[in-house]
């Protein structure tokens, strides 16, 4: 277990530096006028120009720039937006509602995916299974820019079942529709993986043993098959966080939820480069940390990894 954790942590450090470097390079490497890229088409005063140059150490060479940027990230200094707000402060205001939204989405997606996936996996080829596969195919193909506005239009505006927008202090009820939209981004793959995993495990030899032990079908599936089948699904939920973050940008915009995604959207629209780079960096770090946690959880679930 210890060796696994150490190895995973080392890997994480490498990925952390690699990923932040790539993000930084995407923005600044081999850039003729990085300041213009940061501010886009908006006019810029010489004093702003000086401030930005200083802020991003644009007079230094690229690696030194990255070093200062990294130092900032690690010390919690994510920079200042062009509107002169500290990005750390903006994040502090924005993250609670985004956290609620994404947790709700993860729970909705995982619940549906695991319940339907297990049933589908057990009854492969049944009407339920085929219907589920067809639905996942359609859901899989729904871009978030289609789903979010259409869901708002149909369930919020036309039918009036759900609130059309959600505020800073949005509760469960207000977040339910956007969270469902967000969940649909990942539910299809999670369901398919659950289904395939259950189907595969049902054929495993240990299932035959469990049956030969005279255990009830409920116990064979609920205890023996499920634990094995969920291992890949848990990993997937970690990876899917990336899709949820991307989806949150559009969803929060459409439903007017003042969260992290909404701020990022506004940053993009107002061509606020420092804000975009800062927010994206933080999101990438969150993504990496969550995946580290998921990998450690994986070791708890699968003893073969633990004792490697």
Partner 1 sequence: MTGVTDISVDLDPRAPLLHVDDLHVEFRTRDGVANAVNGASFWLNPGETLAILGESGCGKSVTAQAVMGILDSPPAHVTGGRVLFRGADLLQLPEKSRREFRANRIAMIFQDALSALNPVYTVGFQLAEMFRKHRGMSRADAKRRSVELLDQVRIPAAQERINDYPHQFSGGMRQRVMIAMALALDPEVLIADEPTTALDVTVQAQIMGLLAELQRQRNMGLILITHDMGVVADVADRISVMYAGRIVEEAPVYDIYAHPAHPYTKALLESIPRLDHKGRQLNVIRGLPPSLTDLPPGCAFHPRCGYARDICRTDQPPAYQIAAHRISRCHFIREVLGV
Partner 2 sequence: MSESVMPKPGPTEQAPGKPRSLAGDAWHDLRRSKIFWLAAVLIAVILLMAAWPSLFTSADPRDCVLARQHRGPSGAAIFGYDFQGCDVYAKTVYGARYSIVVGVFATLIAGLIGAVFGLAAGFFGGWLDAILSRFIDVMLGIPLLLGAIVLAKRLSADPQSNGVLAVTVTLGLLGWTTAARVLRSSVVAAKNQDYVAAARMLGAGNNRLLFRHILPNSMASYIVVLTILLGINIASEATLSFLGIGLKGNAISWGIAISEATGYVRVAAGPLIWPALFLAATVLAFIMLGDAVRDAFDPKLR
List residues near partner 2 by CB under 8 A.
11, 14-16, 18-19, 22-23, 26-27, 31, 36-37, 40-41, 124-125, 137-138, 140-146, 149-150, 152-153, 157-158, 196, 199-200, 205, 241-243, 245-246, 249-250, 253-254, 264-265, 268-269, 271, 273, 276-277, 280, 283-284, 287-288, 291
Among 208, 222, 269, 293, binds partner 1 (CB under 8 A): 208
**Binding site partner of 242, from partner 1, partner 2, none, Cβ cut-off 5-8 A by kind:** partner 2
Among 10, 227, 269, 289, binds partner 1 (CB under 8 A): 227
On whether the CB atoms of residues 236 and 224 are closer than 8 A, the answer is: no
**Binding site partner of 100, from partner 1, partner 2, none, Cβ cut-off 5-8 A by kind:** none
Distance CA 158, CA 172 (A): 21
What tokens appear for 301 in the block? 């679930």
- Decide if residue 302 touches partner 1 (CB under 8 A): yes
**Binding site partner of 142, from partner 2, partner 1, none, Cβ cut-off 5-8 A by kind:** partner 2
**Binding site partner of 227, from partner 1, partner 2, none, Cβ cut-off 5-8 A by kind:** partner 1
DSSP string, 1-17: -HHHHHHHHHHHHHHHH
> Please, which residue, 126 or 168, has the CB nearer to partner 1?
126
Count of CB atoms situated within 10 Å of the CB of 145: 13
SS (H, E, C) 90-139: HHHHHHHHHHHHHHHHHHHHHHHHHHHHHHHHHCCCCHHHHHHHHHHHHH
Distance CA 183, CA 199 (A): 24
**Binding site partner of 145, from partner 1, partner 2, none, Cβ cut-off 5-8 A by kind:** partner 2
- Decide if residue 307 touches partner 1 (CB under 8 A): yes
What tokens appear for 90 in the block? 């903006």
On whether the CB atoms of residues 9 and 292 are closer than 8 A, the answer is: yes
Among 101, 110, 151, 210, binds partner 1 (CB under 8 A): 210
- Decide if residue 214 touches partner 1 (CB under 8 A): yes
Among 5, 290, 296, 301, binds partner 1 (CB under 8 A): 301
- Decide if residue 219 touches partner 1 (CB under 8 A): yes
Angle, in degrees to the nearest 10, between helices 87-122 and 172-202: 40
**Cβ at position 88, least distance to partner 2 in Å:** 18
What tokens appear for 184 in the block? 């649909």
Distance CA 260, CA 305 (A): 35
Distance CA 142, CA 5 (A): 37
Among 143, 211, 222, 289, binds partner 1 (CB under 8 A): 211
The contact set with partner 1 (CB under 8 A) reads: 202-206, 208-216, 219, 224, 227-228, 231, 301-304, 307
């Amino acid at each position: 277990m210890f060796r696994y954790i150490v190895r995973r942590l080392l890997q994480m450090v490498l990925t952390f530096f690699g990923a932040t470097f790539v993000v930084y390079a995407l923005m600044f490497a081999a850039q003729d006028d990085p300041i213009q890229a940061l501010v886009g088409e908006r006019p810029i005063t010489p004093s702003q120009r000086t401030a930005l140059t200083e802020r991003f150490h644009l007079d230094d060479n690229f690696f030194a720039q990255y070093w200062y940027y990294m130092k900032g990230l690690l010390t919690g200094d994510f920079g200042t937006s062009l509107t002169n707000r500290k990005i750390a402060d903006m994040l502090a205001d924005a993250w609670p509602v985004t956290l609620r939204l994404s947790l709700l989405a993860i729970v909705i997606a995982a619940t549906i995916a695991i319940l339907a996936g297990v049933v589908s996996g057990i009854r492969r080829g049944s009407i339920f299974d085929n219907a589920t596969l067809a639905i996942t195919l359609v859901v899989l193909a729904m871009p978030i820019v289609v789903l979010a506005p259409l869901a708002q239009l149909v369930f919020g505006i036309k039918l009036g079942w759900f609130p059309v927008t959600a505020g800073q202090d949005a509760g469960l009820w207000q977040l339910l529709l956007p969270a469902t939209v967000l969940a649909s981004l990942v539910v299809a793959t999670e369901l398919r993986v659950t289904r395939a995993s259950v189907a595969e495990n049902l054929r495993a030899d240990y299932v035959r043993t469990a049956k030969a032990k005279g255990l009830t079908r409920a116990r064979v599936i609920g205890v023996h098959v499920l634990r094995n089948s969920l291992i890949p699904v848990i990993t997937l939920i970690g990876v899917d966080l990336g899709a949820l973050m991307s989806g949150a940008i559009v969803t929060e915009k459409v439903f007017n939820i003042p969260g992290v995604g909404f701020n990022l959207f506004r940053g993009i629209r107002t061509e606020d480069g420092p804000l975009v780079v800062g927010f994206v960096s933080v999101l990438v770090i969150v993504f990496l940390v969550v995946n580290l946690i998921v990998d450690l959880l994986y070791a708890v679930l699968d003893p073969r990894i633990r004792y490697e």
